[in-house]
């Protein structure tokens, strides 16, 4: 079996000579190469990031299916999908303090602000 650069040389040799001047074995090699190229082009490509997104959604649904409404479930799914963006916001804009301040401004029956 040819290795590394030898494989590339073999492919270059197969493609450099006119098809009419090839031996029967060389023609078979070209047909095999064409078949492998067609197969490689038609195999669907999968990405791990898409699978991780669905995995995160599955975990969220498992944990919160019976206790949350559809709006909250959608918000949690968006947060899981946009995790990288959320982490960037946390680093740049001090997101935690802004969220806490937003909820502290809401009227409550009990005062939760530390004095």
**pLDDT confidence bin for 107, thresholds 50/70/90:** confident
Q: pLDDT at residue 55 above 80?
A: no
Cα–Cα dist 79/82, whole Å? 5
Model confidence over 7-54: pLDDT tens digits?
667 667 766 777 677 777 777 777 787 887 777 777 766 655 556 666
Q: Give the model's pLDDT for residue 91.
A: 78
Model confidence over 60-83: pLDDT tens digits?
777 666 565 777 777 878 878 888
Alpha-helical (H) ranges within the chain are 5-16, 24-42, 48-64, 70-81, 83-93, 95-104
Q: Kindly report the pTM of this predicted structure.
A: 0.27
């Amino acid at each position: 079996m040819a290795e590394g650069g030898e494989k590339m040389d073999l492919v270059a040799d197969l493609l450099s000579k006119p098809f009419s001047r090839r031996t029967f074995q060389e023609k078979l090699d070209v047909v095999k190469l064409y078949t492998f190229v067609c197969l490689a082009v038609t195999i669907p490509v999968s990405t791990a990031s898409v699978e991780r997104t669905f995995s995160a959604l599955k975990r969220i649904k498992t944990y919160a299916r019976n206790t949350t409404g559809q709006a909250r479930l959608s918000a949690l799914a968006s947060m899981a999908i946009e995790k990288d963006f959320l982490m960037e916001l946390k680093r740049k804009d001090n997101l935690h303090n802004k969220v806490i301040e937003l909820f502290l401004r809401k009227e409550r029956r009990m005062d939760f602000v530390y004095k």
